[in-house]
Amino acid sequence: MKYYSLNKQSPDVDFKEATIKGQAPDKGLYFPESIPVQEKAFFENIAQYSNEEIAFRLIQPYVAGTIADAALQGIVKETINFPIPLVPVNDRISSLELFHGPTLAFKDVGARFMSRCLGHFAHDRSEKVVVLVATSGDTGGAVAHGFYDVPGVEVVILYPSGKVSSVQEKQLTTLGKNIHALEVTGTFDDCQQMVKQAFVDEELTKKIFLTSANSINVARWLPQQFYYVLAWKQWTDKKNPPVISVPSGNFGNICAGLLAYCSGLPVKHFIAACNANAVVPSYLANGDYQPKKAIATISNAMDVGNPSNFVRILELFHHKLGDLRKVLTGYSISDDETKAVLKEVYQQYKYLPDPHGAVGYLALQRYLQQHADDKGMFLETAHPVKFYDVVEPVIGEAVPVPAAIQDQLKLTKQSTVIAPDYNALKETLLKKY
């Protein structure tokens, strides 16, 4: 499979090159030259395949020729070695729980896959690789965990100061060794912009071998398809495919779901569930695409004003808004609505969503109110404990802390504060590497 740059000014590359580069030299995102379509029988008989077989079959065409099948099977197996259950909340809504990985968020799937692919490719290179990543909360922790203590890899995480939850901050700032946190006195969009600029800075890239671990990197983005198909495996009413509501910020997750749909996955409709950062819901409603400065909300990991991956969604639908609207509807949910629905779901159904999942739940509920015959699922993208500072006052109870992170919460934060200015990042990187 070849990948082209969406800016169309750089040569095509294979999966290995796209993973190593992260972003094309013309600043474009890489995109597969064709979308593999799976046989109808694969989806019809999905129950007969193991999770590893499903994931391998989905990813193999994207990787073919750069990682041998046996090695890829090993990577896939290690990537999804935790449960991804579909849990009924009420008679029309289920929750696809994506928080059973080591850092309690859906990012673990992509980060584990990417770190193993990069490890595989690194065998051929002697240079140290610096993985640069911008985070609004969860990517940073998952990437830190995925690359911790990996020889030859240094990780530099940029996060917006004061705008991630206390648990997320611990996950990205306490590991030490090869993991370094830069606390940017700006927004996630500032962090993302600084990272993207670094990749096209020739002076810097001549001195330091840089790559990205955000979903701009195909090796982080593509495996996010896995759990949509694993959800279908668990969906009981195969005659009536689900509406899938995806809490969305940078739009990598929902874009992976739409990619699986284009490969034949049965889905009735997708919902882009956003908080007050409503660039995409506004575009879907009125056709006017206006990136904005991010607004801080209680579902902080979705505080993105200029979502990187939306351009991939447009490409998937050949830039035809009419076609996209047939498949995708957007909703913007306020913080007050998020708190109210979180409390309601907990009290009524004894199910505790996190604030991002709550946005997904309410957006789905709104859609289902207009579509009486449909049922659906929301992606529960993180464990509620990651946002206990928001959740506990809403439900008036403590959220138990899973054993997996109890020790990490006792560690001391280590970060370097920098201005939201590209030169500050460049100077820091040149001094360090």
Ligand X SMILES: Cc1ncc(COP(=O)(O)O)c(C=O)c1O
Ligand Y SMILES: N[C@@H](CCOP(=O)(O)O)C(=O)O
Residue 185 DSSP symbol: S
List CB contacts of 192: < 8 A, sequence separation 6 or more: 134, 214, 250, 304, 306, 308
Handedness of CA 187, 188, 189, 191 (dihedral sign): positive
Per the CB < 8 A criterion, the answer to whether 368 and 375 are in contact is: yes
Residue number with CB closer to ligand X (365 or 381):
381
In Å, what is the CA distance from 387 to each residue of 175, 273, 338, 350? 20, 18, 13, 18
Residue window 352-371: x/- pattern of binding to ligand X, with contact defined by CB under 6 A: ----x---------------
Residue window 306-335: x/- pattern of binding to ligand Y, with contact defined by CB under 6 A: --x---------------------------
**Residues of this chain, 372-391, that bind ligand X according to CB under 6 A:** 381-382
Residue 103 contact partner, candidates ligand Y, ligand X, none, CB within 5 to 8 A by sort of partner: none
Q: Is 221 in the site for ligand X (CB under 6 A)?
A: no
Q: What is d(CA 156, CA 178) in angstroms, rounded to the nearest whole number?
A: 9
Residue 381 contact partner, candidates ligand Y, ligand X, none, CB within 5 to 8 A by sort of partner: ligand X
Q: What is d(CA 57, CA 76) in angstroms, rounded to the nearest whole number?
A: 10
Residue number with CB closer to ligand X (46 or 158):
158
Among the listed residues 76, 80, 103, 138, the single contact to ligand Y using CB under 6 A: 138
Report the 10 Å Cβ neighbour count for 97: 20
In Å, what is the CA distance from 307 to each residue of 52, 117, 274? 30, 25, 11
Residue 178 contact partner, candidates ligand X, ligand Y, none, CB within 5 to 8 A by sort of partner: none
Indicate the burial class of 292 (C-beta count within 10 angstroms; 0-12, 13-18, 19 or more).
Answer: middle
Of the candidate spans 159-167, 243-251, 326-334, 417-425, the one that interacts with ligand X by CB under 6 A turns out to be 243-251
Residue 214 contact partner, candidates ligand Y, ligand X, none, CB within 5 to 8 A by sort of partner: ligand Y
Q: Is 277 in the site for ligand X (CB under 6 A)?
A: no
Q: Is 247 in the site for ligand X (CB under 6 A)?
A: yes
Residue window 182-221: x/- pattern of binding to ligand Y, with contact defined by CB under 6 A: --------------------------------xx------
Size of the site for ligand Y (CB under 6 A): 13
Among the listed residues 84, 301, 342, 390, the single contact to ligand X using CB under 6 A: 301
Closest of 124, 120, 125, 180 to residue 148, by C-alpha: 180
Of the candidate spans 21-29, 133-141, 328-336, 397-405, the one that interacts with ligand Y by CB under 6 A turns out to be 133-141
State both tokens at 96.
Answer: 């696809």
Residue window 225-254: x/- pattern of binding to ligand Y, with contact defined by CB under 6 A: ------------------------xx-x--
Q: Is 376 in the site for ligand Y (CB under 6 A)?
A: no
Q: Give the per-residue SS3 of 404-418.
A: HHHCHHHCCCCCEEE
List CB contacts of 332: < 8 A, sequence separation 6 or more: 274, 275, 276, 277, 278, 281, 282
Report the 10 Å Cβ neighbour count for 338: 26
Q: Is 228 in the site for ligand X (CB under 6 A)?
A: no
What is the binding site for ligand Y (CB under 6 A)? 135-140, 214-215, 249-250, 252, 301, 308
